[in-house]
A and B are shown apart, each in its own frame.
Chain A
Amino acid sequence: MIEELRELIEKSMREHDLPYQRKQSLIWGFSTTIGFLVTQLLFLMALKDILSGFEIIPLWGILIGITVYLSRRLAGLPEVRSYFSKLYSDFWMAGFFAIAVLILISLLTHPRYTGAFVAPVVGLLVAIAGMMFRTRYSIFMGFLYSASGIAMFYLWQYQFLIFAVMQFSTLALPNISALKTNWKI
Protein backbone atom coordinates (compact mmCIF):
# COMPACT_ATOMS: atom_id res chain seq x y z
CA MET A 1 0.00 0.00 0.00
CA ILE A 2 2.80 2.44 0.95
CA GLU A 3 4.73 1.62 -2.22
CA GLU A 4 1.55 2.06 -4.27
CA LEU A 5 0.88 5.45 -2.66
CA ARG A 6 4.44 6.62 -3.18
CA GLU A 7 4.30 5.67 -6.88
CA LEU A 8 0.93 7.40 -7.27
CA ILE A 9 2.22 10.64 -5.72
CA GLU A 10 5.40 10.61 -7.84
CA LYS A 11 3.42 9.86 -11.02
CA SER A 12 0.84 12.57 -10.36
CA MET A 13 3.58 15.20 -10.14
CA ARG A 14 4.43 14.52 -13.78
CA GLU A 15 0.82 14.27 -15.05
CA HIS A 16 -0.22 16.40 -17.96
CA ASP A 17 -3.22 16.52 -20.23
CA LEU A 18 -1.69 15.35 -23.50
CA PRO A 19 -4.73 15.95 -25.80
CA TYR A 20 -4.99 19.50 -24.40
CA GLN A 21 -1.24 20.11 -24.90
CA ARG A 22 -1.47 18.80 -28.47
CA LYS A 23 -4.41 21.10 -29.29
CA GLN A 24 -2.58 24.10 -27.81
CA SER A 25 0.59 23.30 -29.76
CA LEU A 26 -1.35 22.81 -32.99
CA ILE A 27 -3.15 26.16 -32.67
CA TRP A 28 0.09 28.01 -31.82
CA GLY A 29 2.00 26.10 -34.52
CA PHE A 30 -0.47 27.06 -37.26
CA SER A 31 -0.91 30.68 -36.19
CA THR A 32 2.82 31.41 -35.84
CA THR A 33 3.52 29.69 -39.19
CA ILE A 34 0.96 31.97 -40.86
CA GLY A 35 2.40 34.94 -38.95
CA PHE A 36 5.94 34.24 -40.15
CA LEU A 37 4.79 33.68 -43.75
CA VAL A 38 2.99 37.05 -43.79
CA THR A 39 5.99 38.66 -42.05
CA GLN A 40 8.24 37.24 -44.79
CA LEU A 41 6.05 38.85 -47.48
CA LEU A 42 6.01 42.20 -45.65
CA PHE A 43 9.78 41.94 -45.08
CA LEU A 44 10.46 41.37 -48.79
CA MET A 45 8.21 44.35 -49.61
CA ALA A 46 10.03 46.47 -47.03
CA LEU A 47 13.37 45.51 -48.62
CA LYS A 48 12.00 46.85 -51.94
CA ASP A 49 10.82 50.03 -50.15
CA ILE A 50 7.16 49.23 -50.88
CA LEU A 51 6.34 49.14 -47.16
CA SER A 52 8.04 50.54 -44.08
CA GLY A 53 8.13 47.20 -42.26
CA PHE A 54 6.43 48.54 -39.14
CA GLU A 55 3.14 46.94 -40.31
CA ILE A 56 4.55 43.77 -38.75
CA ILE A 57 3.97 45.05 -35.19
CA PRO A 58 0.13 45.43 -35.29
CA LEU A 59 -0.09 42.23 -37.35
CA TRP A 60 1.59 40.20 -34.60
CA GLY A 61 -0.52 41.95 -31.97
CA ILE A 62 -3.72 40.89 -33.75
CA LEU A 63 -2.40 37.40 -34.48
CA ILE A 64 -1.41 36.70 -30.87
CA GLY A 65 -4.76 38.08 -29.67
CA ILE A 66 -6.67 35.76 -32.03
CA THR A 67 -4.46 32.79 -31.06
CA VAL A 68 -4.93 33.33 -27.32
CA TYR A 69 -8.71 33.56 -27.88
CA LEU A 70 -8.80 30.44 -30.09
CA SER A 71 -6.59 28.40 -27.78
CA ARG A 72 -8.86 29.20 -24.84
CA ARG A 73 -12.04 28.65 -26.84
CA LEU A 74 -11.03 25.55 -28.79
CA ALA A 75 -8.49 23.79 -26.61
CA GLY A 76 -10.73 24.32 -23.56
CA LEU A 77 -9.41 23.74 -20.08
CA PRO A 78 -6.82 21.13 -19.07
CA GLU A 79 -8.06 18.08 -17.17
CA VAL A 80 -5.07 18.24 -14.88
CA ARG A 81 -2.33 20.70 -14.03
CA SER A 82 0.52 19.12 -12.15
CA TYR A 83 3.32 20.96 -10.37
CA PHE A 84 5.56 19.77 -13.18
CA SER A 85 3.28 21.39 -15.85
CA LYS A 86 3.31 24.58 -13.78
CA LEU A 87 7.11 24.51 -13.72
CA TYR A 88 7.05 23.93 -17.48
CA SER A 89 4.83 26.97 -18.15
CA ASP A 90 7.00 29.12 -15.83
CA PHE A 91 10.02 27.96 -17.83
CA TRP A 92 8.36 29.10 -21.09
CA MET A 93 7.40 32.46 -19.61
CA ALA A 94 11.05 33.05 -18.64
CA GLY A 95 12.07 31.83 -22.12
CA PHE A 96 9.72 34.26 -23.89
CA PHE A 97 11.05 37.12 -21.78
CA ALA A 98 14.66 36.19 -22.70
CA ILE A 99 13.70 36.00 -26.40
CA ALA A 100 11.96 39.40 -26.26
CA VAL A 101 15.09 40.99 -24.74
CA LEU A 102 17.26 39.27 -27.34
CA ILE A 103 15.06 40.53 -30.22
CA LEU A 104 15.31 44.07 -28.85
CA ILE A 105 19.12 43.90 -28.53
CA SER A 106 19.58 42.44 -32.01
CA LEU A 107 17.19 44.98 -33.59
CA LEU A 108 19.22 47.78 -32.03
CA THR A 109 22.59 46.32 -33.06
CA HIS A 110 22.34 43.96 -36.08
CA PRO A 111 18.70 44.03 -37.27
CA ARG A 112 19.42 41.92 -40.37
CA TYR A 113 20.57 39.05 -38.23
CA THR A 114 17.74 39.03 -35.67
CA GLY A 115 16.73 35.51 -36.79
CA ALA A 116 20.31 34.24 -36.48
CA PHE A 117 20.43 35.64 -32.91
CA VAL A 118 17.04 34.33 -31.82
CA ALA A 119 16.82 30.87 -33.46
CA PRO A 120 19.61 29.23 -31.37
CA VAL A 121 17.92 30.35 -28.13
CA VAL A 122 14.45 29.21 -29.27
CA GLY A 123 16.00 25.90 -30.32
CA LEU A 124 17.66 25.49 -26.95
CA LEU A 125 14.33 26.11 -25.18
CA VAL A 126 12.59 23.56 -27.41
CA ALA A 127 15.35 21.00 -26.73
CA ILE A 128 15.15 21.57 -22.95
CA ALA A 129 11.34 21.22 -23.11
CA GLY A 130 11.85 17.96 -25.03
CA MET A 131 14.21 16.73 -22.31
CA MET A 132 11.70 17.68 -19.60
CA PHE A 133 8.90 15.71 -21.23
CA ARG A 134 11.21 13.08 -22.69
CA THR A 135 10.19 13.56 -26.32
CA ARG A 136 13.00 12.73 -28.72
CA TYR A 137 11.31 14.58 -31.59
CA SER A 138 11.34 17.87 -29.64
CA ILE A 139 15.00 17.38 -28.65
CA PHE A 140 15.92 16.76 -32.29
CA MET A 141 13.82 19.71 -33.53
CA GLY A 142 15.34 21.91 -30.83
CA PHE A 143 18.85 21.27 -32.11
CA LEU A 144 17.69 21.65 -35.73
CA TYR A 145 16.00 24.94 -34.77
CA SER A 146 19.27 26.15 -33.23
CA ALA A 147 21.21 25.10 -36.34
CA SER A 148 18.71 26.95 -38.57
CA GLY A 149 20.27 30.13 -37.15
CA ILE A 150 23.23 29.49 -39.48
CA ALA A 151 20.89 29.38 -42.51
CA MET A 152 19.19 32.55 -41.23
CA PHE A 153 22.58 34.28 -41.07
CA TYR A 154 23.45 33.56 -44.70
CA LEU A 155 19.90 33.76 -46.09
CA TRP A 156 18.77 36.67 -43.93
CA GLN A 157 16.34 37.86 -46.63
CA TYR A 158 14.39 34.63 -46.09
CA GLN A 159 14.83 34.28 -42.32
CA PHE A 160 11.07 34.49 -41.64
CA LEU A 161 10.38 31.75 -44.17
CA ILE A 162 12.87 29.56 -42.29
CA PHE A 163 11.12 30.50 -39.02
CA ALA A 164 7.76 29.51 -40.57
CA VAL A 165 9.13 26.10 -41.64
CA MET A 166 10.68 25.51 -38.21
CA GLN A 167 7.54 26.54 -36.32
CA PHE A 168 5.38 24.30 -38.48
CA SER A 169 7.74 21.33 -38.11
CA THR A 170 8.23 21.80 -34.37
CA LEU A 171 4.74 22.67 -33.16
CA ALA A 172 2.12 21.86 -35.81
CA LEU A 173 3.42 18.76 -37.64
CA PRO A 174 3.87 16.41 -34.63
CA ASN A 175 0.45 17.41 -33.29
CA ILE A 176 -1.63 16.99 -36.47
CA SER A 177 -3.28 13.95 -34.84
CA ALA A 178 -5.01 16.41 -32.46
CA LEU A 179 -7.30 17.33 -35.38
CA LYS A 180 -9.05 13.99 -34.89
CA THR A 181 -9.97 14.85 -31.29
CA ASN A 182 -13.12 16.67 -30.26
CA TRP A 183 -12.78 20.44 -30.76
CA LYS A 184 -16.34 21.37 -29.87
CA ILE A 185 -17.01 22.94 -26.51
Chain B
Amino acid sequence: MGMSVLDSRIRVFALAILSGVEKASFSFLKGKLKTTDGNLSIHMQKLCDAGYVRMEKTFEGKKPKTYFYITDDGKRALLEYIEELNRSMNAGNREG
Protein backbone atom coordinates (compact mmCIF):
# COMPACT_ATOMS: atom_id res chain seq x y z
CA MET B 1 0.00 0.00 0.00
CA GLY B 2 2.73 2.45 1.16
CA MET B 3 4.87 2.19 -1.92
CA SER B 4 1.94 2.35 -4.34
CA VAL B 5 0.74 5.58 -2.72
CA LEU B 6 4.25 6.99 -2.79
CA ASP B 7 5.00 6.06 -6.38
CA SER B 8 4.13 9.61 -7.41
CA ARG B 9 6.73 12.37 -7.13
CA ILE B 10 4.10 14.98 -6.19
CA ARG B 11 2.76 12.84 -3.33
CA VAL B 12 6.27 12.18 -1.97
CA PHE B 13 7.16 15.87 -2.19
CA ALA B 14 3.85 16.90 -0.58
CA LEU B 15 4.61 14.54 2.33
CA ALA B 16 8.17 15.90 2.58
CA ILE B 17 6.87 19.49 2.83
CA LEU B 18 4.24 18.52 5.39
CA SER B 19 6.81 16.65 7.48
CA GLY B 20 8.50 19.97 8.37
CA VAL B 21 5.39 21.96 9.15
CA GLU B 22 2.56 21.82 11.64
CA LYS B 23 0.04 22.63 8.90
CA ALA B 24 -0.01 23.97 5.34
CA SER B 25 -2.85 25.31 3.22
CA PHE B 26 -3.89 23.93 -0.15
CA SER B 27 -2.71 27.09 -1.93
CA PHE B 28 0.67 26.95 -0.18
CA LEU B 29 1.22 23.36 -1.34
CA LYS B 30 0.03 24.24 -4.83
CA GLY B 31 2.62 27.01 -5.04
CA LYS B 32 5.43 24.85 -3.69
CA LEU B 33 4.65 21.86 -5.88
CA LYS B 34 3.91 24.02 -8.95
CA THR B 35 0.82 22.07 -9.92
CA THR B 36 -2.82 22.72 -10.72
CA ASP B 37 -5.81 22.68 -8.37
CA GLY B 38 -7.30 19.55 -9.93
CA ASN B 39 -4.06 17.61 -9.97
CA LEU B 40 -3.19 18.47 -6.38
CA SER B 41 -6.73 17.64 -5.19
CA ILE B 42 -6.44 14.11 -6.59
CA HIS B 43 -2.99 13.54 -5.07
CA MET B 44 -3.96 14.92 -1.67
CA GLN B 45 -7.11 12.82 -1.64
CA LYS B 46 -4.98 9.70 -2.22
CA LEU B 47 -2.72 10.66 0.68
CA CYS B 48 -5.78 11.25 2.87
CA ASP B 49 -7.29 7.90 1.88
CA ALA B 50 -4.02 6.17 2.80
CA GLY B 51 -4.14 7.86 6.21
CA TYR B 52 -0.86 9.70 5.62
CA VAL B 53 -2.43 13.15 5.68
CA ARG B 54 -5.30 14.71 7.59
CA MET B 55 -7.41 17.38 5.94
CA GLU B 56 -9.16 20.21 7.78
CA LYS B 57 -11.62 22.58 6.16
CA THR B 58 -12.13 25.96 7.75
CA PHE B 59 -13.46 29.40 6.79
CA GLU B 60 -11.54 32.63 6.50
CA GLY B 61 -14.38 35.12 6.54
CA LYS B 62 -16.63 33.71 3.84
CA LYS B 63 -13.86 31.96 1.92
CA PRO B 64 -13.26 28.26 2.56
CA LYS B 65 -9.70 27.29 3.38
CA THR B 66 -8.22 23.79 3.42
CA TYR B 67 -5.31 22.80 5.61
CA PHE B 68 -3.29 19.60 5.54
CA TYR B 69 -1.45 17.93 8.41
CA ILE B 70 0.87 14.93 8.18
CA THR B 71 -0.12 11.98 10.36
CA ASP B 72 2.21 9.62 12.26
CA ASP B 73 1.57 6.99 9.58
CA GLY B 74 2.55 9.56 6.96
CA LYS B 75 5.82 10.34 8.75
CA ARG B 76 6.57 6.64 9.05
CA ALA B 77 5.79 6.02 5.38
CA LEU B 78 8.04 8.89 4.29
CA LEU B 79 10.93 7.58 6.43
CA GLU B 80 10.47 4.07 5.05
CA TYR B 81 10.40 5.48 1.54
CA ILE B 82 13.67 7.37 2.08
CA GLU B 83 15.28 4.28 3.65
CA GLU B 84 14.14 2.20 0.70
CA LEU B 85 15.63 4.75 -1.70
CA ASN B 86 18.89 4.71 0.26
CA ARG B 87 19.01 0.92 0.19
CA SER B 88 18.42 0.73 -3.55
CA MET B 89 21.03 3.42 -4.18
CA ASN B 90 23.60 1.58 -2.04
CA ALA B 91 22.80 -1.70 -3.80
CA GLY B 92 23.19 0.06 -7.15
CA ASN B 93 26.56 1.48 -6.10
CA ARG B 94 27.79 -1.96 -4.98
CA GLU B 95 26.72 -3.58 -8.25
CA GLY B 96 28.19 -0.72 -10.27
* A66-114 residues at the B interface, CB under 8 angstroms: 73, 76-77, 79-83, 85-86
B92 near A: Cβ within 8 Å? no
Contact, CB under 8 Å: B21 / A5: no
Contact, CB under 8 Å: A5 / B12: yes
Q: Which candidate, A6-14, A31-39, A127-135, is the interface stretch facing chain B?
A: A6-14
Cβ contacts under 8 Å, B23 to chain A:
80-81
B22 near A: Cβ within 8 Å? yes
* A1-32 residues at the B interface, CB under 8 angstroms: 1-2, 5, 8-15, 17
The residue on A at minimum CB distance from B65 is: A77
Contact, CB under 8 Å: A12 / B20: yes
B3 near A: Cβ within 8 Å? no
When the two chains form the complex, which single residue of A2, A13, A17, A185 contacts B20, counting CB atoms closer than 8 Å?
A13
Q: How many A-B residue pairs have CB under 8 A?
A: 65
CB distance from B17 to the nearest CB of A (A): 5
Cβ contacts under 8 Å, A2 to chain B:
82, 85-86, 89
Contact, CB under 8 Å: A82 / B20: yes
Cβ contacts under 8 Å, A11 to chain B:
20
- The complex places the Cα of A134 from the Cα of B23 at a distance, in Å, of 23
* B38-77 residues at the A interface, CB under 8 angstroms: 58, 60-63, 65
Contact, CB under 8 Å: A5 / B17: no
Chain A interface residue count, CB cutoff 8 Å, equals 23
- The complex places the Cα of A89 from the Cα of B21 at a distance, in Å, of 14
B10 near A: Cβ within 8 Å? no
- The complex places the Cα of A83 from the Cα of B70 at a distance, in Å, of 12
A77-B65, A79-B25 known; A5 and B16 CB under 8 Å? yes
Contact, CB under 8 Å: B21 / A1: no
When the two chains form the complex, which single residue of B12, B21, B65, B89 contacts A12, counting CB atoms closer than 8 Å?
B21
B35 near A: Cβ within 8 Å? no
When the two chains form the complex, which single residue of B17, B22, B86 contacts A86, counting CB atoms closer than 8 Å?
B22
When the two chains form the complex, which single residue of A73, A77, A81, A185 contacts B21, counting CB atoms closer than 8 Å?
A81
Cβ contacts under 8 Å, B89 to chain A:
2
The residue on B at minimum CB distance from A13 is: B20
- The complex places the Cα of A73 from the Cα of B19 at a distance, in Å, of 29
Interface residues of B (CB under 8 A from A): 12-13, 16-25, 27-28, 58, 60-63, 65, 82, 85-86, 89
What are 6 A-B residue pairs whose CB atoms fall within 8 Å in the complex? Answer: A5-B16, A10-B20, A77-B25, A79-B25, A81-B23, A86-B22
Closest CB pairs A-B (n = 5) = A12-B20, A185-B61, A13-B20, A79-B28, A82-B21
